[in-house]
Amino acid sequence: MIPAMFLLVNSTSLTLALLLLPLVAFSLFAPYSSAVVLGQTYLSKNIGFASGVTLGLTTTFGGLVTPIIGRAADMYGISAALQCLWLVAIFGALCSFALRTPDSLKQPKHCMV
């Protein structure tokens, strides 16, 4: 998403922007199912709760951040506000590298006798 959003926001060509828009849309919505599965892996004893938490928190966080981006658009213009989106994507990507491997995915250690 980061390169597609960066190119979309900084594009001066309408044709390029229209070609990048589906890629940005796909990259925004494609990870939802993997996020739910990852949440269910972390909370394997409460799969339904994990689904609600992962989708609920992402929707809630987006709802909380949207007015801030709207305020930035009012103060600095749409272009500046949209620049925030690919910067937030970088922050999200960096945070994903900090996730621990869930216990259910760790390989059992075999004892050599």
20-29 confidence digits (pLDDT tens): 999 999 988 8
Neighbours of 77 (CB within 10 A): 11
Cα–Cα distance measured from residue 59 to residue 90, given in angstroms and rounded to the nearest whole number = 19
The model's pTM: 0.68
Residues near 86 by Cβ (< 8 Å), separated by ≥ 6? Answer: 1, 2, 5, 6, 9
69-104 confidence digits (pLDDT tens): 899 899 999 888 888 888 888 988 898 888 888 776
